[in-house]
Structure 1
Amino acid sequence: MAKVPEIKAPKKLIEVALPLDEINAACKKEGNPFTPRHPRSLHIWWARRRIAAVRAVLFAQLVNDPGYERELGRGVNKEKAEAERKRLFEIIKKLVLWENTNNEQVLAEARAEIMKSWRETCELNKKHPQAKELFNPEKLPAFHDPFAGGGAIPLEAQRLGLEAWASDLNPVAVLINKAMIEIPPKFAGNPPVNPESKEQIRVDDSEWKGAAGLAEDVRYYGQWMRDEAEKKIGHLYPKVRITEEMAEDRPDLKQYAGEELTVIAWLWARTVKCPNPACGGRAPLLRSFHLSKKKGKEVHVIPEIDKNIPAVKRFRVESKGDVPENTTDAKGARCLFCGTFIKKAELREISKKDGLESIPLAIVAKGKKGRVYLSSDLFEVPDIKKPDVPEANKPMTNDHRWFSPPLYGLPNFSDIFTPRQLTALTTFSDLVKEAREKALNDAIAAGMPDDKTGLEDGGTGAAAYADSICIYLALSLSRWTDLTNSLVSWNNVNQNFRALFARQAIPMVWDYAESNPFGPIASWYSIIESQINLNKSLSAFNLGYSTQKNAMIQDLSSNKIISTDPPYYDNIGYADLSDFFYVWLRTFLRFILPVTLITVNTPKSEELVAASYSHGSKGDAEEFFMEGMNKAMHRLAEQANPLFPVTIYYAFKQSETKEGNTSSSGWETFLEAVIKSGFAIKGTWPMHTERTERSVAMNTNALASSIVLVCRKRGDDADVVSRKEFLKELKRELPEALDEMTASSIAPVDLAQASIGPGMAVFSKYSAVLEADGTKMTVHDALVLINRELDEYFSEAGDDFDADTRFCLAWFDENSWKEGRFGEADGLARAKGTSVDGVKEAGVIESGSGKVRLYRWSEYPDDWSPEKDSRTPVWEALHHLIRVHQCGGGEAGAADLLSRMSGRALSIKQLAYRLYTLCERKGWAEDARPYNELITSWGEVEARTPEAVSKTPQKNLDSF
């Protein structure tokens, strides 16, 4: 039998090189919560990947590395290959900029490059027996993300020219992806059907490109819903009249006397019964009495107490005087009337037993030039019977890491909404259905086929279009619930609402803000407006499909390009959290999507999260996660298109430092699953796709990055090697990879995890690494060895420093910034080739009275000049740089100082890495922070030096 020829799969750019600095800079910029046209405008999802990183990863995953022709012996030399890589880098640098998200010129260039690589691959395999089946040079393979979540990856795959498939177990994720990748291409180029748009005179419909017509209809029917809702429930949100009498006590109100102001928010405080028998009052619980901390517009409330009851008669708004101390903190609460302190555990029990009530705190109204704050006695809230919403009368999960309200007697989702909020939500819910009927009739009148086939059944006519409008309206309403519940607080710094999901949890909130659906901010229509801007930018370039599938058993990946972002062990309870939205989405949409929304709650038993409360114990949960991730990864390894690597994102939420080794049970479990599935890790790239608030300052090893793993299926003929052979190869490969990482200024906080990549690349290419006793080495043991090599790398790097710096390093390792004995310092100095007096002369230590200590960087003199210093060890240079960077000079000041220390940049940066690693291993989080921050800014610091600026080509402004 003739041997079937192997498929020739050129190495992709992502397996060789990436312009990390530019990608990470774009990710950082995109992190701004007000970034326009972002997928978050459609709906909330937790841990959605940064678009810049996703776009760069996909492009580099699809484009051939120029070096592949050299490997094939085509005469392409190393220099030419490198020049080609730089050209591809320039495309990526443009591609990742947020302002180029819908720049057709930039996107067309990227698509052309992707298609060029695909045709090259087809040409290489034109004689393969499956050439017609697998290698159509005019059509790219389809794309699939089996853990689609918030849809960032499928959306960008579609934007880059691929047919995109998104699947997820969670129906909320399925809906988000339908709205982003499936619906827009179905109705691309269609003009709007609403009567208002039809009445406008147009020469042609060319302005309705992409999903612009669809967006216009969402705007129209969203506005209609707002107007109809105001007719029905507008009286529940009265304006507040400013009287002459009120203005007498408040000079700032004189300009509004006789006017009615629109209310932005009604502020409330929950109360709990005081456990002190001599008091018994219902104590108001406030995290702060401040309403506004804006400079020049400070406002707070003062409680006027009726001591006979006791109770608060009203909260009076003041702009001057002392501000009362808050009555709640992390430890518990204080009774405003008698001062009794209520510990957190007792507070929970009292809340469950006697219930929580709410009292008016203040009103925030819209003024001519900002907010107007009014005292609580002006509250006019109609007495509303709380409507019964069966879907919302569902209990929250029992995991208190993510859900705090049940601990305080609020067990169901409906409990965290006020009667007025539930009334508004049910009113808008009914209007979603009415809006669909209007859209259906208007679509038929506009000439769309009346085929009666809905969207869920694959329709493309009037019924499917009306269903689509309904889905967008329902997603807006669902997103609005994030701002329409009693766990929304008032941000007294920015003077706006702080939404419930500031993080991936539902925490308890004591004083809360109730918004006005018809007000100027956090209103129903403000959500519609933000969605419209996104809808106009959605890709209609290629078809997309979103469906509900379990990643452990799905078969959609067959012969498709794959990039995915799986769940992270037990970090986020996606299903439990998304039930908050699902109870409403099911209410809004069950009548048009009965299959997608068939389950009463989001599926949980099959969700790949290591949640111990769902599986009985931590061990059972880990076993479930491991087995499930093994199955999911195995499906990918078996089904993925062999011409392309698979890219998998993994972000760290928490890690632990034990015995000098950085480890994470989730990371180890995940890596074990990837390798056991048959994947070999070909590369890893750390990207700044996470929130930077999770920093070493929080005394954790939390990452500011995701690690993107680049994987290919391991060959069936992979070798088995011994531990000794593995270590030998690790010592050869890892230092070279670390040199490249530190040269690219990877953040030190990321370096330990990032170094796992090249280490695991060595480990995973073998079918097994055998220990001395013949057993297979585990991922955990391999990680221990990789960590040791990381320590050794930095220890050896320290040998190249000057003698004074070597002394400081060793002294810091033993004593930190504390004093030590002179005799020990003298012996150490001699061993390092210097003297205590010499190091003292350098200005980095204090020595006297038989004691020696290192100066902290904050103690270094402000007037230091490297030009006038005759003895400047690298240690001193680094800490002066940190002083400037930390104390107001920032990147510009650090750049100026660095430019005056010619030729020392590399050694300074190496020392910063070494010191961060040392502090991290010792658990000195606060000491580690400035080293991490300097290196994180290093690219910008070097770019700002006069030498770099002088070499930067000036842009011709006339070309823009």
Structure 2
Amino acid sequence: MISFIEKQFPVSKVSKESYKERKANNGQTLTGLGKWWGRKPLVLVRAAILGCLMPASDNPKWDMDIFLKIMSMDQTGLELRREKPFSAAEMYEIVEKNKKLRSRINEWFDITGDKIKLNSSVNKKEVELTVFNTLGYDEKLTKCIRPEQLGNLDVQTWKEINHHLGTNAQDLQELIQQLSAKRYGQNVVVGDCFCGGGSIPFEAARMGCDTYASDLNPVAGLLTWASINILGASTKDLEEIKKFQQDVFNKVDEKITTLGIEHNENGDRAVSYLYCVDANCPECGKKVPLAPSWVIGKGTKTVAKLVEKDNGFDLVVEMGVSSADMKVADNSGTVGKSGLICPSCGKTTPISSLRRDRRDKNGNLIYGLRKWEKAEFDFQENDIYHERLYAIKYEKNDGKRYYRHPNERDLQNEAKVKQIIAENIGAWQEQGLVPSMEIETGMKTDEVMRNRGWSHWNHLFNARQLLVIGTFVDVISKGGNNKLLKVAGMLGVNRLVNFNSRLSRWCSIAGIEKVVDVYYNQALNTLYNHGCLGFKSIHSSWAYNINDYLTNKQSIVNLSDARAVNNNCHIWITDPPYADAVYYHELSELFLAWDKKLLLGTFPEWYTDSKRILAVKGDDNFSRSMIDIYNNMANHMLDDGMQVVMFTHSDPSVWAQLALIMWKAGLKVTAAWNIATETESGGLKVGNYVKGTVLLVLRKQTEEETAYLDEINMDIKSEVKAQIESMQALEDKEEPNFSDPDYVLAAYAASLKVLTSYKKISGLDLDYELDLAINKPANSKVVKIIENAKRIAYDCIIPLDFDTYLWKELSHTERFYIKGLEAEKHNNYQISTYQEYARGFSIGSYGQLMASEKANTARLKTATEFAMRTVSDNPDFEKSILRCVLAAIYIVIKEDGVPEKGLFHIKQQVP
């Protein structure tokens, strides 16, 4: 039974919905549970699962309509999702620009006063709905909740869905179960052996699927288990979890308050602490506090001022300073890209020199900083770096907040905290209350070792942070009496770890002025100044919002190497690690270092390390690992099962690698779709959006047929043309679903569909081809086949309303220019678009056709910019009719708009 996703997919709408979900930032469903990198949008997962289960009929247009109805992406669905009201002014602006509605302005609006109003005689809901339905899809989404936030579809929509699919469902879960029964005779089992942050298993469970989820990494396992069981908890369980969170918080608060380490002499309590690193200037010997800027708060106009003294500098905190002082503080940073900048002698010292890094006789880099011992938590007297507390943000009993530099009482509090840690850290490490794990060398972890000398994960936390988070771990381990509560506690600890370490940044932006997260990117960034949470500001990091969702609890979540998975699934949907894009195994160890005790107590069958040695990495073993993994999954699915692999890449050689990996694993390609999932400043689907997610649809290879390479070239050409023509036939001119990269991607998939449909191809050694695709792609036959498919695609991608016969008569350079104009018409000025066109149309040089080749402002030359200059790099273009027409336009403009002179030029030049 062929699936919907193998024939078509609403890439444009799913892309826009994915973008909307991404832009929700912390409002996304799973992000509150904890940090993970590269979670896929839930709407994308929902569409993929539905696309696999929904059968393709002999009426593709009706299939698409029904698919969009189920996803609430049709007109009725958008109307149901519409939540944000229009203001009268918004509606007036839209109506005024709409030719069909403009005549109704006086009927609907009162514009006699200072403020535009709706006439009292009109039905506001009807007017709003009429206005809403004139908008494009993107504009409609600004007024809508996400598909996952819609309770259910309306009765009439379900009648239409059931009529087409032969089902009798009243909600999404029932539909999934009934489609599963029709296809597999039982409820579908969706598996993911790279579950990561849990997007795929969670959405599958929420849709009503049985689920299998595994990952090598315990943090991934924890997040996935929590997504299904905590977000899917009953109302009673949720109340218990929230009560547990508050009880733990109160007990830790009581302990910290009793110690008296956060209150000052006035009884005010600390909200935040600011620390910086000190180092002696090698040139003058002065001890210099290091920070890139001394602005503390842009809203409160708070700065730290450097005051020179005999052996160094004091830092004096002042609030409400002038704009001039703010500018001075911002520009008087004592460390930058060039190194330490001494405010006393004015000399600059490179950081590598300051650290005393050196190379041995073999050229190997030797780090100059002292390596810290396991139980250390502070810099030692003879170290190159030291740490000082330079500012505290306090809150009075009346809620007013202020900053000050530490006085004697504050320094006493600080000394008391350090004394507590010094006396207890050894025992606490033994008990698992604070980290004791050594930091293994790695691409990301080497940063903290090189830049600070830290050798164990506890070194990334100052004494105050160790005390507070360690107290949370202690209270949780003693208080949680079931798995739900202990997991909720671990998630809270991990959130604290992400917002309360020596790598936690201080944000000085007006209206924020607080400590922010460690993992704002995919790295462990050592800081010269960092923030530390006082207990007053910990609650928002510790407690997180939990919304209850109905999830299918027929789920298995465990830790496993994907090569060793032994569970059968009907559909495998995976988002594999690819070429070390994110170093999950290294980055997650910051959390694992704290979770060890709680993990062992909650999941005794799990291990507590990241299993770095088994992680799939972008090294020489990558292809072999991937073949083994996907071969194992192929062996654990039915003959009529499916796989969807998500990955990000547009390079034909990478496509060739992945195709060969899947081919070797016993799988064949049946379709591929590209969904824009990134949220870039330029918006969605601008230009060649290669940062989208490719959905590669696969089935088990069951044929034994052999083909010859020269025989299948015609098959590939036919398949590419058929695929693009079928997509064009479904295209909506009002709201286009596909762009040029989609058609190119479809061409790649079509070529791979033909190639991988055979068990083997005579004259093609798959192992040799895989090696070539990785190391010498220019010599790979498969890469060449995919490149040729792209050229076939570009022959088929004709601009809208352009005559097909005329298009075929144009030279490749003329096509390049016309396609470029079409891109500019849609406000696409990315150089990558022109690079793609040049490759697609086999053009070696196009620089003389371009007015600009800058990344996001690339554009073609206009007729006046060409003038009558020779385009020597492109002889075909120079001799073309298009070049003649451009010259004629220039002549007309030059001659004050006299068209006859331009026409005369064309008659003279064109035979």
Please confirm whether the aligned pair reaches a TM-score higher than 0.5, indicating the same fold.
Answer: yes
| Residue 481 (structure 1) shift | 0.6
Map 1:602-617 to 2 at 5 A. Answer: 602-610=610-618
Which one-letter code corresponds to 1:320 in the other structure?
Answer: S
Specify whether residues 825 and 565 from structure 1 end up closer, same or farther in structure 2 by C-alpha distance, changes over 3 A only: closer
Find the partner of 2:532 among 509, 514, 535: 514
| Residue 348 (structure 1) shift | 3.9
CA separation in 2, counterparts of 1:770 and 1:777? 13
2:314 alignment partner, SS class: strand
Work out the percentage of aligned pairs sharing the same amino acid: 18
User: Residue 18 of structure 1 corresponds to which residue in structure 2?
Assistant: 9
Is 1:422 aligned to 2:466, yes or no? yes
Is 1:85 aligned to 2:59, yes or no? no
Map 1:472-551 to 2 at 5 A. Answer: 472-493=488-509, 494-516=512-534, 518-520=535-537, 523=538, 525-530=539-544, 533-534=545-546, 536-551=547-562
| Residue 707 (structure 1) shift | 0.8
Is 1:358 aligned to 2:349, yes or no? no
- Structure 1 residues 631-678: Cα deviation after superposition (integer angstroms, max 9, x where no partner): 1101111221333321111124xx8xxxxxx3565x554332212111
Q: Which moved more, 1:84-93 or 1:174-183?
A: 174-183
CA separation in 2, counterparts of 1:869 and 1:53? 55
| Residue 403 (structure 1) shift | 4.7
Map 1:558-573 to 2 at 5 A. Answer: 558-573=568-583
| Residue 554 (structure 1) shift | 1.4
CA separation in 1, counterparts of 2:316 and 2:229? 53
1:552 alignment partner, SS class: helix
Find the partner of 2:347 among 311, 318, 340: 340
| Residue 584 (structure 1) shift | 0.9
Specify whether residues 795 and 14 from structure 1 end up closer, same or farther in structure 2 by C-alpha distance, changes over 3 A only: closer
Q: Which runs of 5+ in 2 are unaligned?
A: 82-144, 154-168, 358-367, 371-382, 800-805, 821-842, 853-864, 903-911
| Residue 686 (structure 1) shift | 1.2
Specify whether residues 793 and 755 from structure 1 end up closer, same or farther in structure 2 by C-alpha distance, changes over 3 A only: closer
Is 1:732 aligned to 2:718, yes or no? yes
User: Residue 222 of structure 1 corresponds to which residue in structure 2?
Assistant: 245
Specify whether residues 736 and 357 from structure 1 end up closer, same or farther in structure 2 by C-alpha distance, changes over 3 A only: farther
Map 1:796-835 to 2 at 5 A. Answer: 797=798, 800=807, 812-814=846-848, 816-817=850-851, 822=868, 824-825=870-871, 828-833=877-882, 834=884
Map 1:839-858 to 2 at 5 A. Answer: 839-840=889-890
1:382 alignment partner, SS class: helix
Q: Which moved more, 1:176-185 or 1:406-415?
A: 176-185
1:473 alignment partner, SS class: helix
CA separation in 2, counterparts of 1:405 and 1:118? 50
| Residue 262 (structure 1) shift | 4.4
Specify whether residues 119 and 393 from structure 1 end up closer, same or farther in structure 2 by C-alpha distance, changes over 3 A only: closer
CA separation in 2, counterparts of 1:311 and 1:774? 66
CA separation in 1, counterparts of 2:526 and 2:573? 36
| Residue pair 1:402, 1:573 contacting (<8 A) in 2 also | no
User: Residue 292 of structure 2 corresponds to which residue in structure 1?
Assistant: 287
Map 1:580-619 to 2 at 5 A. Answer: 580-597=590-607, 599=608, 601-610=609-618
Find the partner of 2:638 among 622, 641, 655: 641
CA separation in 1, counterparts of 2:355 and 2:740? 41
1:397 alignment partner, SS class: coil
Specify whether residues 758 and 114 from structure 1 end up closer, same or farther in structure 2 by C-alpha distance, changes over 3 A only: same
CA separation in 1, counterparts of 2:338 and 2:274? 24
Which one-letter code corresponds to 1:767 in the other structure?
Answer: K
Find the partner of 1:471 among 487, 492, 497: 487
Specify whether residues 753 and 585 from structure 1 end up closer, same or farther in structure 2 by C-alpha distance, changes over 3 A only: farther
Specify whether residues 215 and 15 from structure 1 end up closer, same or farther in structure 2 by C-alpha distance, changes over 3 A only: same
| Residue 791 (structure 1) shift | 4.7
| Residue pair 2:177, 2:188 contacting (<8 A) in 1 also | no
CA separation in 2, counterparts of 1:725 and 1:548? 46
CA separation in 2, counterparts of 1:228 and 1:772? 68
1:86 alignment partner, SS class: helix
CA separation in 1, counterparts of 2:648 and 2:815? 35
Specify whether residues 340 and 695 from structure 1 end up closer, same or farther in structure 2 by C-alpha distance, changes over 3 A only: farther
User: Residue 478 of structure 2 corresponds to which residue in structure 1?
Assistant: 434
Map 1:602-681 to 2 at 5 A. Answer: 602-610=610-618, 621-622=619-620, 624-652=621-649, 662-663=651-652, 668-681=656-669
User: Residue 256 of structure 1 corresponds to which residue in structure 2?
Assistant: none
| Residue pair 2:504, 2:518 contacting (<8 A) in 1 also | yes
Specify whether residues 37 and 694 from structure 1 end up closer, same or farther in structure 2 by C-alpha distance, changes over 3 A only: closer
Q: Which moved more, 1:773-782 or 1:392-401?
A: 773-782
| Residue 365 (structure 1) shift | 4.3
| Residue 765 (structure 1) shift | 1.7
| Residue pair 2:445, 2:524 contacting (<8 A) in 1 also | yes
CA separation in 2, counterparts of 1:315 and 1:349? 32
Q: Which moved more, 1:819-828 or 1:505-514?
A: 819-828
| Residue pair 1:683, 1:711 contacting (<8 A) in 2 also | yes
| Residue 681 (structure 1) shift | 0.7
User: Residue 114 of structure 1 corresponds to which residue in structure 2?
Assistant: 176
| Residue pair 1:769, 1:776 contacting (<8 A) in 2 also | no
| Residue pair 1:142, 1:560 contacting (<8 A) in 2 also | yes
- Structure 1 residues 468-496: Cα deviation after superposition (integer angstroms, max 9, x where no partner): 21121122112221001010111223433
Find the partner of 2:306 among 283, 288, 303: 303
| Residue 173 (structure 1) shift | 1.7
| Residue pair 1:141, 1:560 contacting (<8 A) in 2 also | yes
- Structure 1 residues 275-305: Cα deviation after superposition (integer angstroms, max 9, x where no partner): 22xx1223222122233345xx554332222
| Residue 264 (structure 1) shift | 2.7
| Residue pair 2:303, 2:317 contacting (<8 A) in 1 also | no
Which one-letter code corresponds to 1:838 in the other structure?
Answer: A
CA separation in 1, counterparts of 2:66 and 2:197? 32
Map 1:143-154 to 2 at 5 A. Answer: 143-154=190-201
1:591 alignment partner, SS class: helix
Which one-letter code corresponds to 2:524 in the other structure?
Answer: I
- Structure 1 residues 889-939: Cα deviation after superposition (integer angstroms, max 9, x where no partner): xxxxxxxxxxxxxxxxxxxxxxxxxxxxxxxxxxxxxxxxxxxxxxxxxxx
- Structure 1 residues 89-111: Cα deviation after superposition (integer angstroms, max 9, x where no partner): 22123599864436452495323
User: Residue 802 of structure 2 corresponds to which residue in structure 1?
Assistant: none
| Residue 764 (structure 1) shift | 1.7
User: Residue 553 of structure 1 corresponds to which residue in structure 2?
Assistant: 564
| Residue pair 1:768, 1:776 contacting (<8 A) in 2 also | no
1:546 alignment partner, SS class: strand
Map 1:43-62 to 2 at 5 A. Answer: 43-62=34-53
Which one-letter code corresponds to 1:529 in the other structure?
Answer: A
- Structure 1 residues 694-753: Cα deviation after superposition (integer angstroms, max 9, x where no partner): 99999x99842111111001223233232x333323333335545777964657778766
User: Residue 706 of structure 1 corresponds to which residue in structure 2?
Assistant: 693
Q: How many residues align?
A: 709
Is 1:395 aligned to 2:395, yes or no? no
| Residue 771 (structure 1) shift | 4.7
| Residue 576 (structure 1) shift | 1.8
2:71 alignment partner, SS class: helix
User: Residue 238 of structure 1 corresponds to which residue in structure 2?
Assistant: 262
- Structure 1 residues 221-277: Cα deviation after superposition (integer angstroms, max 9, x where no partner): 211111111221234552457xxxxxxxxxxxxxxxxx865433211221223222x
| Residue pair 1:694, 1:703 contacting (<8 A) in 2 also | no
Superposition TM-score, scaled by structure 1 size: 0.67
- Structure 1 residues 159-210: Cα deviation after superposition (integer angstroms, max 9, x where no partner): 111121211222222222222225777xxxxxxxxxxxxxxxxxxxxxxxx5
- Structure 1 residues 7-43: Cα deviation after superposition (integer angstroms, max 9, x where no partner): xxx1111111222222111211211364436212112
RMSD: 3.9
User: Residue 790 of structure 2 corresponds to which residue in structure 1?
Assistant: 790
CA separation in 2, counterparts of 1:739 and 1:402? 50
Which one-letter code corresponds to 1:358 in the other structure?
Answer: E
| Residue pair 1:63, 1:113 contacting (<8 A) in 2 also | no
Map 1:902-913 to 2 at 5 A. Answer: none
CA separation in 2, counterparts of 1:750 and 1:165? 31
